[in-house]
Amino acid sequence: MVNADKISIVNFGDDQVMVGQAGLRPITTEIVETMRKKAIGISITEPRDVTKIVKDSIRETKTSLDPAAKLFGKTYGAALMIAFYAQNRPHFYTCHIFGTGIPEPAESQYATAGCADMLANYFLSEFSAPRAIDEIQLSALIYTIMKVKENNAFCGGPTTIKYLTTFFTRLDSSRVAKATTIDPGFIERFEKALKMRDEQNKPERNAQLIAVLREVSDEFAKEHWQSPK
């Protein structure tokens, strides 16, 4: 998950759940605070232990909103992304607060939320692969964030990335998940290197694309312009 200001950690016993917030921050923050209260004394034994608290917290927060706030939320939207480990497996959910309000499993190995989610989805769909090695996935993620910030006026600022690390610390050999933050200086250097190489390779990429467009155009031009018999 990215953007430290909108990534919250919710403790479930020894485990940590990452919650990414998109859209109306006052509402998503209230939901996260409600989750924290409800998670006290709760351990994760199955995904439902987390998703039920997410769903209940959303319902309680929405119920407490006045009509004007509900209308504002429906107009501008708000969403959560929830990442955690359960039964020794990673789980990733998205939830549109003013939609169903129910956490839905991510349809692939990545998910996005917010005002630039369609653009981010486009880049990630081009670069992401289910079994890609971590280093390539990190490059794809940072590149995607960089391009989104370049093309969306509402996205900007330093990039922060958090991820879950698991440890075998229990007597039953199950894992405990803790959130880790990648060094911001490393991310900044990584982004600058990608930007430089992206600019260097842009003329070659453009030339390749123009060549493909010309080839397809020539192939179909004769068919389109030939005189009817």
pLDDT per position as a tens digit, 214-223 = 988 888 877 7
- pLDDT of res. 4: 44
Residue-level pLDDT at 129: 60
pLDDT of residue 174: 65
Is this model's pTM higher than 0.75 or not? yes
pLDDT given for residue 91 in this prediction: 93
* Mean pLDDT for the chain overall: 85
| Residues in the chain where the model's pLDDT stays below 50 | 2-4, 133
Look at residue 211 in the predicted model and tell me its pLDDT. 92
First to last CA, the chain: 60
179/188 Cα distance (integer angstroms) = 20
Phi, psi for residue 24 in degrees, rounded to 5: -70, 105
Token pair 């909108």 is found at 6
Q: Which residue has the tokens 């939207």?
A: 77
